[in-house]
């Protein structure tokens, strides 16, 4: 019952804060230790991740998420790094080009720029990005990224990506709770 109340409270928060983009329900179900693993996870952890992903897939009727294979992982990293580079160059048009059509329908370019600069300053002014575990199902992906911003401690984020017209696009970014140096 407590989980249900938490989910209700989180849903209300999302309605009030449009900067928490799409797929929040997915992330609520996958929260916790799932996100704390780094690239050096063991086989038991992979099985737990796959089981949790399968459980969530039943709820959202999408295939479960699995650890991304190297070619897909590289594609996803390239998209995220390209958007971060565009932010560093203050090229918000290019950064916006990496957003899904759903994000573009919700935020015009000016609103997107304001949201990123005011609510995600470490992303807007990133220095480095370190990638942790990345999961996908061929159409959707979640990438755990630790970003070192211009004037802050490294911050963990979950990037939500979706394949649109054979290209990966960023569907949302949510601040992640990290433990130590894991992402």
The answer to whether 127 touches 149, Cβ cutoff 8 Å, is: yes
Quick: pLDDT tens for 138-159: 999 999 999 998 776 899 999 9
Residue 57 lies in a domain: yes
Confidence check: pLDDT of 4 > 50: no
Residue 183 lies in a domain: no
Quick: pLDDT tens for 87-123: 999 999 999 999 999 999 999 999 999 999 999 999 9
Residue 182 lies in a domain: no
179 vs 97, higher pLDDT: 97
Residue 124 lies in a domain: yes
**CATH number for the domain including 42?**
3.10.450.100
Q: How confident is the model at residue 167 (pLDDT cuts 50, 70, 90)?
A: very high
Residue 80 lies in a domain: yes
Integer CA distances (angstroms), 42 to 20, 92, 160, in order: 31, 39, 23
Q: What is the pTM of this model?
A: 0.67
Element (H, E) at 173: strand 167-175
Whole domain around residue 115: which residue ranges? 2-175
Model pLDDT, residue 182: 55
19 vs 92, higher pLDDT: 92
Residue 144 lies in a domain: yes
Q: Where are the alpha helices (DSSP H) in the chain?
A: 2-16, 24-30, 43-60, 70-88, 92-96, 101-106, 109-119, 121-124
Confidence check: pLDDT of 2 > 80: no
Model pLDDT, residue 183: 56
DSSP per-residue letters across 117-150? HHH-HHHHTEEEEEEEEEEE-SSEEEEEEEEEES
Q: How far apart are CA 41 and CA 46, in angstroms?
A: 7
Residue 180 lies in a domain: no
Residue 29 lies in a domain: yes
* 166: its two tokens: 């054979």
Q: How many domains is the chain partitioned into structurally?
A: 1
Q: What is the mean pLDDT of the chain?
A: 76
**Closest Cα to residue 136, out of 58, 48, 69?**
69
């Amino acid at each position: 019952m407590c989980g249900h109340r938490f989910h209700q409270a989180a849903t209300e928060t999302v309605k009030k804060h449009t900067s928490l983009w799409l797929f929040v329900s997915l992330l609520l179900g996958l929260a916790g230790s799932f996100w704390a693993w780094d690239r050096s996870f063991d086989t038991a952890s992979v099985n737990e991740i796959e089981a949790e992903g399968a459980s969530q897939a039943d709820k959202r009727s999408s295939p479960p998420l699995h650890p991304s294979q190297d070619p897909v992982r590289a594609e996803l990293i390239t998209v995220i790094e390209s958007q971060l580079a565009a932010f560093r160059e203050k090229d918000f048009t290019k950064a916006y080009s990496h957003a899904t059509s759903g994000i573009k329908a919700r935020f015009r370019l000016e609103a997107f720029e304001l949201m990123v600069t005011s609510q995600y300053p470490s992303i807007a002014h990133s220095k480095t990005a370190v990638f942790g575990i990345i999961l996908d199902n061929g159409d959707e992906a979640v990438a755990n990224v630790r970003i070192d911003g211009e004037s802050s401690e490294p911050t963990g984020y979950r990037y939500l990506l979706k394949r649109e017209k054979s290209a990966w696009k960023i569907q949302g970014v949510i601040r992640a709770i990290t433990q130590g140096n894991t992402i």
